[in-house]
Structure formats: structure tokens, C-alpha cells
Amino acid sequence: MTAKRRDRSQDDILVALCGLTPQVVTETVWALTRLDPPVWPKEIWILTTEAGRQMCRQMLFGETGALARFQRDYDPHRLHRLRYGSEYVVVLRDRMGQPIDDVRTAADNLAIADQLATFLRRQTARPNVRVHCSVAGGRKTMGILLAAVFQLYGRPDDRLYHVLVSPEFESHPAFFYKPRRSTVLRGANGRRLRTSDAVIELADIPYVRLRPLLSQPLPSRFTELVERTQQELQALTSVQPVRLVADRNQLRIGSQTVSLTPQGWELYRALADRKRLHCVRPEQPHCDGCTDCYVRVGKESWDEVRTAIEQQSGRSGILPKDLTGFRSMVSKLNQAIRSALGSERLASRYGIQSVGIRNNKAYGVAVDKAMLKETESPDAE
């Protein structure tokens, strides 16, 4: 069993689900330390129910607990410091804020998902930490939710695991890991079980890391995180129509409304009209990366360009008198779109785009000409 070679400056932490069988935590720790190179988690975080917390206190913690026994067995000189205990236990709560013992309702399900998202958001924000996440313990719903959240927050080096244990040892009240010296346990019907015969496998679960697709900062509520992800994926696969609402200085992008300043709206409309009404390649039904309609702007040409844009819009004085002010205006307009859509990637699809070198850039509306339409009412088709 091998582990991905890593930067030694990273600290490893374990995040484990736990129900009424805390053995899964020590089994995971044992399996991690058997990897090549071995992984000794500096922190052991346990996400569990109130009943699970009590079981962890009784069976895992303290000088006689299974974690201390494991360290004395495999790290007698304390070369690796394992941090664990009550301060590293997170008790999941229901929608009323009460410690939960089971997932009984859809509301509790969402409450747990939000807590898992908040926790993993915090842990994956730590720059020098690699997260090892185990979904082996806890209720099935909890494991599914944790894996779903991990897909959205997991970074390239973060790992997702499931622990597989021989059936006769799985959930055995006296089996917590494979000790160095084999011992004999009593199994079902008085059967003698040698711990040396136990098999503990750490299944490294491949998962799709969606985090790079998401604009920062990431939300901590699971439902918001899923919605953001759907928006980002939609931005990669399809473009929504853009309606320019003339009497409200608004853009309607799909179902979202973007309110602009009068000057910003006139600028957007002027650049959209160049693409929509004055396309230099009318034989092409779609833009397909063409930027020939973009307005090239430089210090020497700014006055001429400003006059042309204002004449096209039918309003004078809508643009700043200097190029620096124009760039600031474009930035604020794009920021308004970004704020309304909640996504950098979406904003880049619908905002004002620039191409070229700094002192000789061309500006235009990024969206395809076939997706632009002006209307007098937000409800008009």
C-alpha cells in the first residue's frame, strides 16, 4: 500500500466520522501509519453524534484508551505527537441546535451537511495542512454527505478513504487495530480469533475535485456551495441570454438581475450594439471567439473613441474624460456583474472583456451576439 509522495513541510490531519463503533478511528490511524511513506496525523478530528462522543471518551481517550495504547505499541518513544481528545470532537447538531443521535428528518440532513461544509471549509483553508478524510464511520447518510462536501472543498493533496476490516473483526468490541504482538480474541460462538489474521485495508477513494472551478471565497453552507458549483458548471457548458432592460438600467442574465449605473448601462449597451447591430462579420451567426467589433482604446485615441461611443449611445458626458477613468468604469461594471452572479467565471462570460496589450487594448462585450437582446420590460420576451 503506497501513499502519494508529499512535501514534508505539510502537516497531516485525520478527519473521521464515528458512530457507535470508535474502533474505526484507530483502525484508520493504524492503516495510515502502514502506508509508504507512513502518515502520522498530528491531529485526529472526530465528527460524531452525542452518543458517539460518549463512546469515544470511554474507549479512545485517556491513558488507557485505544489511541494511547496504539501509540505506546507503535511509537513507544513518542516520535510522533498525536493530538486528540474532547477538544478535537465535533458533535453534530440538528436543525434546532441540539446534539444529534441520528439523522431522522430532511431538515436534520441539511443541518448536518452545513456543519460538515463549515468544518471542512475551515480545515482546507489551512495552507500547510493535508487532510485525510475517512467516511467509514457514522450513519450512511453522514458518509455520503461528507464525501459530497469533500468533492467541493478537497484540494489536490487531500485524500478521501474508506476503511475495510475483516468481517470477523469488524465492530468487535475488543479489536481496535492490529497490535504488534498477536493476541487472541473471542468471536461469535466462542471462536478464537488471532489478531495477526485480521486484515485492515485503507481504500483511497478517487474523487472529482471541483474546488478549482469555484470562485473565492467559498460559502460554508452546503446548499449555497452546491448552487455555486452548479452555476460554475453551467458557465462552462452554456451561456444564458442577456436582456438589456432599457428603462431600468439593468441586465437580465438568465434569471439573475444586474443593476448598473446609468453610465455603466449606456456603456454596456453601446458595446453590445456594436456586436449586435453593427457586426463586421454579419455572415457568421455566432462570434466564436471573434473580437473584430471590440473598440480599440489608447491614450492618443481616447478622445475620438469616447466621442464615437457617446454618439452611438445618443448621450453625451456618459464616459470619463481620461482613459484611467474609463478603465475604472469598466472594472466597476464587471464587479457589479460579479457580485450579482456570485462568480468570477460567470462574470467573465457576461462582462466587458479586454484583449491586447495594456496601452492598446480593445474592449467589447464578451457574450455572443446571438444571446443579446434589448427590451423595455424585464418580463418582455
Assigned domain for 3 exists: no
Predicted confidence (pLDDT) at residue 313 exceeds the cutoff of 80: no
Assigned domain for 319 exists: yes
- Give 228's pLDDT tier (boundaries 50, 70, 90): confident
Domain containing 348: what range? 239-375
Assigned domain for 380 exists: no
* pLDDT score recorded for residue 54: 94
Assigned domain for 69 exists: yes
Distances (CA, A) of 144 to 94, 112, 263, 353: 17, 11, 49, 40
230 contacts: CB under 8 Å, gap ≥ 6: none
Predicted confidence (pLDDT) at residue 377 exceeds the cutoff of 80: no
Predicted confidence (pLDDT) at residue 379 exceeds the cutoff of 80: no
Listed residues 186, 217, 232: the one ending a domain = 232
Using a pLDDT cut of 90, give the percent of the chain over it: 49
Listed residues 232, 260, 284: the one ending a domain = 232
Q: Are 129 and 13 in contact (CB under 8 A)?
A: yes
In this structure, what DSSP letter does residue 380 have? -
- Give 347's pLDDT tier (boundaries 50, 70, 90): confident
Q: Are residues 297 and 334 in the same domain?
A: yes
Q: Are residues 197 and 244 in the same domain?
A: no
Q: Using CA atoms, how far apart are residues 189 and 102, in angstroms rounded to an integer? A: 31
**What does the mean pLDDT of the chain come to?**
88
Q: Are residues 83 and 198 in the same domain?
A: yes
CB neighbour class for 150 (10 Å; exposed up to 12, middle 13-18, buried from 19): buried
* pLDDT score recorded for residue 8: 61
Q: What is the pLDDT of residues 66-87, one digit of tens each?
A: 999 999 999 988 889 899 999 9
Predicted confidence (pLDDT) at residue 125 exceeds the cutoff of 80: yes
Q: What is the pLDDT of residues 199-216, one digit of tens each?
A: 999 999 999 998 887 777
Q: Are residues 136 and 83 in the same domain?
A: yes
Q: Are residues 31 and 87 in the same domain?
A: yes
Place of cell 478511528: 25
Q: Are residues 95 and 200 in the same domain?
A: yes
- CATH code, 125: 3.40.50.10770
In angstroms and rounded to an integer, the radius of gyration of the C-alpha atoms of the chain is: 29
Predicted confidence (pLDDT) at residue 306 exceeds the cutoff of 90: no
Predicted confidence (pLDDT) at residue 39 exceeds the cutoff of 60: yes
Listed residues 215, 232, 249: the one ending a domain = 232
* pLDDT score recorded for residue 380: 47
Total structural domains within the chain: 2
Q: Are residues 186 and 296 in the same domain?
A: no
Q: Are residues 172 and 281 in the same domain?
A: no
In this structure, what DSSP letter does residue 164 have? E
